[in-house]
Amino acid sequence: RALNRDELKKVLFAVRSFTGHRQTAIAMELLMRTFVRTAELRGATWNEVDWKSAEWTIPASRMKIKDAGDHVVPLSEQSTKLLQELKEIAGAAKNAPAWLFPNLRDAQRCMSATTINRALERMGFNGKDSIGFSAHGFRGTASTLLHEEGFRPEVIEVQLAHKERNSVKAAYNKAK
């Protein structure tokens, strides 16, 4: 489900005042800002982040569509600040893990697949008697609002890491 502008503002306010683990709130805000899939975010490691160029490169091996190659995510100033905060939280932990979002029960694994959706439930956006918004909805929200703002569809699709459906176009156009 894609959120409209007013709903997105409510979710952002709720995320920023979330009383659960700060890492979970940061994960939700990064989903809003980067449009990546939840598995790509949860499985992110610090060596994927290039602070100098403000880019996060997700290896093809972690992407849903592996044959499209690595996926480069430009990081806004706001996203970079969130990552810096996350780094400070991780640095305070004993034996800081390689994951951006380590599992709090087992640092050898990344954040659970259900963590973000449970947080959205706690905030009243997901689950029974809610608006039915899940973590994956951040992608649909981004796509919808960017299309409404007049951004070029092909740019939106690249940022969402969608595969070109036109096989002829995909065979010739290798641009990132």
Active site (catalytic) residues:
37, 66, 136, 139, 162, 172
Q: DSSP labels for 49-97?
A: EETTTTEEEE-GGGSSSGGG--EEEE--HHHHHHHHHHHHHHHHSTT--
Closest CA to 61 of 80, 39, 83: 39
Nearest-10 crossing angle of helices 22-34, 137-148: 40
